[in-house]
Amino acid sequence: MAKIGWGLILIVILGILLFAAMMVMQKPEKSEPQPVPQEEQAENPKLTVQDIMHLAEIGKVPDVPFVAGEAKKQDIQQQWGEAQNVAELDNEKYEDYTKQDVTIGYQGELAFDIRSFKADIQNIHLEDIKNNMGEPTETRYYQDEATDQVILVYQVNPTYQLKWILPKPTEAEANPSVHHISVYTKIKDEVAEAINQMTLEEKIGQMMFAGVAGTTLQQETASLIHDFKVGGMILYGNNLETTTQSVNLVNDLMKANADKRLPLFIGTDQEGGNVVRLPGALKNFPTNQKIGAINEAQFSYEIGSLLGEQLKAFGFNLDFAPVLDVNSNPKNPVIGDRSFSNNPQVVSELGIQTMKGLASQQVIPVIKHFPGHGDTSVDSHLALPKVEKSLKDLNETELIPFKAAIESGADVVMVAHILLPKIDQNYPSSMSKEVITGILREQIGFDGVVMTDDMTMGAIANHYDMGQAAVAAVKAGNDIVLMAHGFSNVTSAIEAIKVAVNNGEISEAQINESVRRIIHLKQKYQLVNTPVPAVDINKLNADVERVLNAYMD
Active site residue 453: yes
The pLDDT, as a whole number, for residue 241 is: 95
Single residue among 129, 153, 188 that ends a domain in this structure: 188
Mean of the pLDDT values across residues 205-210? Answer: 98
Look at 5-14, 283-292, 307-316 and tell me which has the smallest mean pLDDT. Answer: 5-14
Non-local (6+) Cβ contacts of 114 within 8 A are 59, 60, 61, 64, 66, 68, 71, 102, 103, 104, 105, 182, 183
**Is 393 in the same domain as 438?**
yes
The pLDDT, as a whole number, for residue 12 is: 53
**Is 208 in the same domain as 97?**
no
**Is 156 in the same domain as 251?**
no
Count of alpha carbons within 13 angstroms of residue 240, beta-carbon side? 25
pLDDT at 316 > cutoff 80: yes
Query: Has residue 324 been placed in a domain?
Result: yes
**Is 184 in the same domain as 251?**
no
Query: Has residue 478 been placed in a domain?
Result: yes
**Is 107 in the same domain as 197?**
no
* Domain hosting residue 184, numbered range: 45-188
**Is 468 in the same domain as 533?**
yes
**Is 412 in the same domain as 494?**
yes
**Is 210 in the same domain as 319?**
yes
**Is 206 in the same domain as 61?**
no
pLDDT at 40 > cutoff 50: no
Q: Above pLDDT 90, what percent of the chain?
A: 80
The pLDDT, as a whole number, for residue 380 is: 67
The pLDDT, as a whole number, for residue 102 is: 97
Query: Has residue 23 been placed in a domain?
Result: no
**Is 118 in the same domain as 201?**
no
pLDDT at 323 > cutoff 60: yes
- pLDDT digits 0-9 by tens, 250-265: 999 999 999 999 999 9
pLDDT at 127 > cutoff 90: yes
Query: Has residue 101 been placed in a domain?
Result: yes
Q: Give dist(CA 387, CA 233) in Å, integer.
A: 31
pLDDT at 536 > cutoff 50: yes
Mean of the pLDDT values across residues 417-438? Answer: 95
Q: Give dist(CA 41, CA 35) in Å, integer.
A: 10
Query: Has residue 414 been placed in a domain?
Result: yes
**DSSP-derived secondary structure letter, 442:** I
Query: Has residue 40 been placed in a domain?
Result: no
Query: Has residue 257 been placed in a domain?
Result: yes
The total of structural domains in the chain comes to 2
Single residue among 168, 188, 208 that ends a domain in this structure: 188
pLDDT at 36 > cutoff 90: no
- pLDDT digits 0-9 by tens, 217-232: 999 999 999 999 999 9
Query: Has residue 29 been placed in a domain?
Result: no
Mean of the pLDDT values across residues 327-338? Answer: 79
Candidates 319, 375, 411, 453; catalytic one = 453
Q: What is the pTM of this model?
A: 0.74
The pLDDT, as a whole number, for residue 330 is: 73
Candidates 125, 179, 381, 520; catalytic one = 381
pLDDT confidence bin for 1, thresholds 50/70/90:
very low
State the average pLDDT for the chain: 90
Q: What is the CATH number of the domain that holds 391?
A: 3.20.20.300
Mean of the pLDDT values across residues 161-184? Answer: 96
Strand segments, DSSP code E, in 256-330 are 265-268, 318-319
3-state secondary structure of 485: coil
Q: Which amino acid is at 481?
A: V
Contact 455, 473 (CB under 8 A): yes
**Is 162 in the same domain as 202?**
no
Active site residue 381: yes
Single residue among 158, 188, 218 that ends a domain in this structure: 188
Q: Above pLDDT 70, what percent of the chain?
A: 90
**Is 392 in the same domain as 451?**
yes
